Structure 1
């Protein structure tokens, strides 16, 4: 059973200790950096979550930058700890995230960005239904993908 739990005083340290593989660190910010962004980049109203399987912390997600007029929201971060990758959890995690977003925000689209050379993430996002947008994130040069929900 996969669940999302808001990052809080009780779990933030454990969340910051989660790591991707060494090869993946060039593709995603650390969870500590993401939590700082959530705390201080308040204009985008980021919501950081620990991803749990049963009672075990297995990953991290950050959702925000909700656009109520155009009805989309960003899945700005998604990571699974290196020790649980490749075990088939990603699809279940994404299903839970999509359901959570649908239940908590009035959106018809989820947007994310990905580095063009992150082939594993691109393959995963395509597999779960994301498609390329003909846009690049001006903040970091990453390619944008979206999923209609």
Structure 2
């Protein structure tokens, strides 16, 4: 099945807003509808729909680009509960990194995760991210990948 990323826009926002995390993961990420609103209102991030064939399978947000630091945040990432357990997270992370490389001149990709979300930490470590020892203002653990 073909996997691809499509920027969220007026044509696809409703199908992306309908994506949901699994019940046991909802404490680790805001609802997609909140993320979309934040992205569109603040305009500091870009919302991305993650597609498996013609179906939306996940959501990601990138942004808070710093030209001075040549860094960007891979700020949100989730696979819809209906698509979990099929390897999509591992397949989409390289596609998101490719999207970042195509649209931004960066040396560092940063992300954060909620303490206790060991599944997310394992996933990000597998893709070359490492803890920085720092926490964001919400108390989330910061990881980064130097390119």
TM-score by length of 2: 0.96
- Which residue number in structure 2 is paired with residue 113 of structure 1? 112
Structure-1 separation of matches of 2:87 and 2:45: 27
Segments of 4+ in structure 1 off by > 6 A? none
Q: Which runs of 5+ in 2 are unaligned?
A: none
1:49-128 mapped onto 2 (5 Å cutoff): 49-128=48-127
CA distance in 2 between partners of 1:108 and 1:53 (Å):
29
Q: Does 1:41 align with 2:65?
A: no
User: How far apart are the structure 2 equivalents of 1:58 and 1:30?
Assistant: 15
Alpha-carbon distance, 1:33 to partner: 0.5
The Cα shift of 1:58 comes to: 0.2
Q: Secondary structure at the match of 2:111?
A: strand
Q: Offset of 1:102 from its aligned partner?
A: 0.7
- Relative to the length of structure 1, the TM-score reads 0.94
Offset at residue 91 of structure 1 (A): 1.5
Match of 1:147 in 2: 145
- The two structures, once aligned, show a CA RMSD in angstroms of 0.9
Q: How does 1:8-19 map to 2 (within 5 A)?
A: 8-19=9-20
Structure 1 residue runs of 5 or longer lacking an equivalent are none
Cα distance in structure 2, aligned partners of 1:18 and 1:25: 12
* Partner-residue secondary structure (3-state), 1:87: coil
**CA distance in structure 2 between the partners assigned to 1:7 and 1:103 by the alignment:** 17
